[in-house]
Amino acid sequence: MSRSDPSAPDQGAALSGAGVSFVMPVLNERAYLEHAVESVLAQDVDGPTELVLALGPSSDGTTQLAERLATREPRLRIVHNPAADIPVGLNTAIRASSHPTIIRVDAHSELSPGYARRAIQTLERTGAANVGGVMRADGRTPFQTAVARAYNSPVGLGGGSYHGGTREGTAESAYLGVMRRTVLDEVGLFDESIRRGEDWELNLRIRQAGHTVWFDPQLAVTYWPRESWIRLARQFRSTGAWRGELVRRYGRSNGLRFFAPPALLVILALALVVAVLQVTGVLSGVPGLLASIVYLPLMAYAVLVIAMALAPGRPTDPPRSARERIWTLAVLPTMHLSWGLGFLMGVLRGAHDTVDTSRLGTRNTPLP
């Protein structure tokens, strides 16, 4: 029996009515912060709530906005995160919070109504240590909408349960996460040496400690992707580098899906070498014909990307515009190749001080 087995209801007995602490790391999120805060404070739960913002050194007016929000909302508290690293900010906010249930939230996301209440009920019902739901990406421009559709598709991010899973059950990790403070104290909070993928690493330690991580598809969080091609490329290169670092540290604990983007990049590099050798006549005849096999995976990938661009959206989605379809042709390869490049660099030399520069110096227009 795991230490968070559903047959141990005493683990969840103290959660209902005991209070909830939301923790949010924030850096250059002026366009998104107020909507994110409103979605948190609108959550209806039994017992007291608080929202602790871990403010990084923003340059777009985020700090001033957060301070204004705090002056009119007593449940909102501010702690400072000079290093701007997400796990450092999360740990600082958790230590400054006071309630037994910790709910991680993100300034680039919005909680659906009833999210916190449902999550706490799931914690109690399952006895899990951490519960997460579906990350529903959305966009307000053709580019951002193209990125969102890629996020919501198994083709885009590899099919993790929180990118569109429909079956409730145990999971490898949890998006954001609704966690028991007792378990966080037991395993040691977030690893501050990991700047990306810190949630996956924390959930690995939670599972290794004998607890359960649970996926509940009834929980939904709206996520707003990066707004430009260059920011998307920077984000995915950084994320890939830290996944490579996690592979260096934890090896086969990482799922096979994480190796698909670097494999695509390696195949592309081989195809370019073969093409040069064929054009220059170095490879010809039967050897050249056999070497052409390297093009087949790339042709299949190109067909997949085109199919994604032409595919209709879900019945509940608005009609896809021509600009969004064109952006899809660029977005998918950008996500995969940037991630793959970062991954290979992370595996070969480690992530070291790699940071997500897409979060720095943002200039966003407010959400409608």
CA dist 102 and 16 (Å) reads 13
**pLDDT value, residue 25:** 95
Residues 19-44: tens digit of each pLDDT: 999 999 999 999 889 999 999 999 99
Give backbone dihedrals phi and psi of 220, rounded to 5 degrees, phi first: -135, 135
Indicate if the pLDDT at residue 366 is higher than 60: no
What global pTM score does this model have? Answer: 0.85
CA dist 41 and 230 (Å) reads 33
Domain limits of the chain? 16-225, 248-359
Indicate if the pLDDT at residue 257 is higher than 90: no
3-state secondary structure at position 135: strand
Of 39, 51, 40, 38, the residue nearest 77 (C-alpha)? 51
Indicate if the pLDDT at residue 9 is higher than 50: no
**Joined tokens for residue 359:** 């979060």
Indicate if the pLDDT at residue 365 is higher than 60: no
Q: What is the DSSP string of 91-114?
A: HHHHHH--SSEEEE--TTEEEPTT
The CATH number corresponding to 16-225 among 3.90.550.10, 3.40.50.720, 1.10.760.10, 3.40.30.10 equals: 3.90.550.10
**Joined tokens for residue 114:** 């009833």
